Structure 1
Amino acid sequence: MNCRLGCGACCIAPSITTAIPGMPEGKPAGIRCIQLDDSNLCKLFGQTQRPAVCGLFAATEDVCGKTDTEALWLISSLEAATNA
């Protein structure tokens, strides 16, 4: 599936343990990435400063669901399950 532009769930729900410009300690789960703009688009997309883990994320229906709200819930649930 293609990423739903403006969803932003993958930039909010998961924790990111590597440094992000403006977030040198990474990003906790459930916290909006500082590089997510007002339209929920990544300001670092296509740039070398973007964390490698972000570039590895692939939108799939089992992770992103059918709506932005479902994506946030699914990714949050996966984050909680893997950090329990």
Structure 2
Amino acid sequence: MDCRLGCGACCIAPSISSAIPGMPNGKKAGERCVQLDTNNLCKLFNQPSRPAVCSQFSATTDVCGRTDAQAMWRITQLEALT
């Protein structure tokens, strides 16, 4: 599936332990990434400074569901299990 533009669940729900520009210690689960703009689009998309963990994420129906709300719920649940 293609990523749903403006969803942002993968930039909010999971914790990220690697450094992100503007967040040198990564981010906590449920914390909004500082690189997520007001339209829930990544300001680092296709930039070399984008963390590898972010670049490696692939939107799939089993992780992201069919709606933005499902994506937030599913990724939050996956985070809680890890």
* Structure-1-length-normalised TM-score: 0.96
Measure the CA separation in 1 of the matches of 2:18 and 2:49: 11
Q: Say what the alpha-carbon RMSD is for the aligned residues.
A: 0.4
Aligned pair 1:13/2:50, yes or no? no
Q: CA deviation at 1:48?
A: 0.8
Runs of 4+ in 1 over 2 A off after TM superposition: none
Measure the CA separation in 2 of the matches of 1:59 and 1:50: 17
Q: Deviations over 1:26-78 (max 9, x none)?
A: 01000000000000000000111100000000000000001000000000000
One-letter amino acid of the counterpart of residue 36, structure 1: L
One-letter amino acid of the counterpart of residue 25, structure 2: E
Q: Which residues of structure 1 form unaligned runs of 5+?
A: none
Count of residues in Structure 1 that have an aligned counterpart in Structure 2: 82
Partner residue, 1:44: 44
Q: 1:53 aligns to what SS in structure 2?
A: helix
Q: Which residues of structure 2 form unaligned runs of 5+?
A: none
Alignment of 1:5-84 (within 5 A): 5-82=5-82
Measure the CA separation in 1 of the matches of 2:12 and 2:2: 18
